[in-house]
Amino acid sequence: MPIHPTTRRGTLLGALALAGCQTTAMDLAGTGTVAGASSGAGRPAALLSANKADQPMGSVVQALIDLGAKPVSTLTVEQARRQPSMADAVRRVQAQQGVPTTPRPVARVQDLSIPSRNGPIPARAYIPEGGRGPLPLIVYWHGGGWVIADLDTYDASARALAAETGAVVLSCHYRQAPEHKFPAAHDDALVAYAWALGAAQRLGADRRRVALAGESAGGNLAIATAMGIRDQRLPKPAHMLLVYPVAGTDTRTPSYLENTAAVPLGRDDMLWFVDKVTRSPLDLQDPRLDVVGKADLRGLPPATIINAGIDPLRSDGEMLAQKLQAAGVPVVQRTWPGATHEFFGLAPTVPDATEAQRFTAMRLRDAFGVPMASL
């Protein structure tokens, strides 16, 4: 399957000039240093993203900074969890444009609780209007660096997947750091998948047509869950949708250097997240975190990888696509050059998000064997 390269790149020199300052920090694996622009300044970082972004994307980035959001690397965990999100920013833009801010309609939305030996896992089922027989099922995990965000923050992405694919979407929360360090979230994700298979019938879903999906840290949970499914010989999913996934522990990649001070996610922010979630540097050697460096990807389901051009994680997605292809896994990877991290759930305000949602829905419907005309 094809791998689509990024078509527009920034430069580290340009990032330094826009940010106006420099810092030096260890990479995630603790094996070297790299100079980069600090994300602590806030507004220069926002301008860095806005200057490279397409106009609709830039307006959301500017709205985020206008709401008072700061780089998470400058905040406490409690402050980071309380501050405005990109979901808040897009609602601000919609209100300024006189566009309704009501959520995308889905026939039925139901809050659930998944039992686990480590306590209940909050989840939410998005159930569209069904046709004949049970619907396909997408098990989805939200982003937030394993530390912040929740089901509400990523509600728009889950609704879009349900509406665009005609599948039931089970959006799953997980234990978050620093209260619960790695691999707590990864353990919860595998529990949620096994539960979803058992609960498929009462959700009106077909356990033989299941996909995994996730954004950012949730994309990491999705592929780690696929590896756990393979290793534990659980029923294999039909597909993986990985939206700007965390897939490695090297912060010296081209996209980290080009987008050091990007908004809403910069390099220092990723270092902050990893510091909160890991117990020691040894965790960074785990194949569930260093997927591109340490994981065996043979036997995984076909994948679709979505990336943003203005995102430190872009290279993670590109390298992951190459490694999956080398392991014999069918994969398509696409990058939207003028978009930032978190763009996927921003439709219809950001046209790139609308396009990405439709593209992923086409890929998922094909994996499920659902023709377009049936939706």
Confidence grade of residue 229 (pLDDT, cut at 50, 70, 90) = very high
Global confidence as pTM: 0.89
Higher pLDDT, 35 or 329: 329
Q: What is the mean pLDDT of the chain?
A: 88
Task: Please state, in angstroms and rounded to a whole number, the distance separating the CA atoms of residues 260 and 269.
Answer: 9
pLDDT of residue 32: 30
Tell me what the mean pLDDT of segment 156-185 comes to.
98
Q: Please check whether residue 169 is in contact with residue 222, taking contact to mean a CB–CB distance below 8 angstroms.
A: no
Selection from 232, 262, 229 nearest residue 244 by Cα: 262
Q: Please check whether residue 104 is in contact with residue 160, taking contact to mean a CB–CB distance below 8 angstroms.
A: yes
Is the pLDDT reported for residue 291 higher than 60?
yes
The fraction of the chain above a pLDDT of 70, given in percent, is: 85
Q: Would you please indicate which residues are annotated as catalytic (active-site) residues?
A: 216, 311, 341
Cis, bond preceding 84 (omega within 30 deg of 0)? no
The fraction of the chain above a pLDDT of 90, given in percent, is: 83
pLDDT of residue 47: 52
Worst-scoring range by mean pLDDT, 21-35, 67-81, 283-297, 299-313?
Answer: 21-35
DSSP 8-state class, residue 277: H
Tell me what the mean pLDDT of segment 79-94 comes to.
98
Tell me phi and psi for residue 185, to 5 degrees.
-60, -40
Tell me phi and psi for residue 361, to 5 degrees.
-65, -40
Is the pLDDT reported for residue 43 higher than 50?
no
3-state secondary structure of 6: coil
Tell me what the mean pLDDT of segment 287-307 comes to.
98
Amino acid at position 343, single letter: F
Task: Please state, in angstroms and rounded to a whole number, the distance separating the CA atoms of residues 67 and 65.
Answer: 5
pLDDT of residue 5: 32
Tell me phi and psi for residue 339, to 5 degrees.
-105, 155
Q: Please check whether residue 174 is in contact with residue 225, taking contact to mean a CB–CB distance below 8 angstroms.
A: no
Each residue's pLDDT tens digit, 340-368: 999 999 999 999 999 999 999 999 999 99
Tell me what the mean pLDDT of segment 143-169 comes to.
98
Task: Please state, in angstroms and rounded to a whole number, the distance separating the CA atoms of residues 32 and 36.
Answer: 13
Cis, bond preceding 301 (omega within 30 deg of 0)? no
Q: At what angle do helices 55-66 and 43-52 cross, to 10 degrees?
A: 170
Q: Please check whether residue 244 is in contact with residue 215, taking contact to mean a CB–CB distance below 8 angstroms.
A: yes
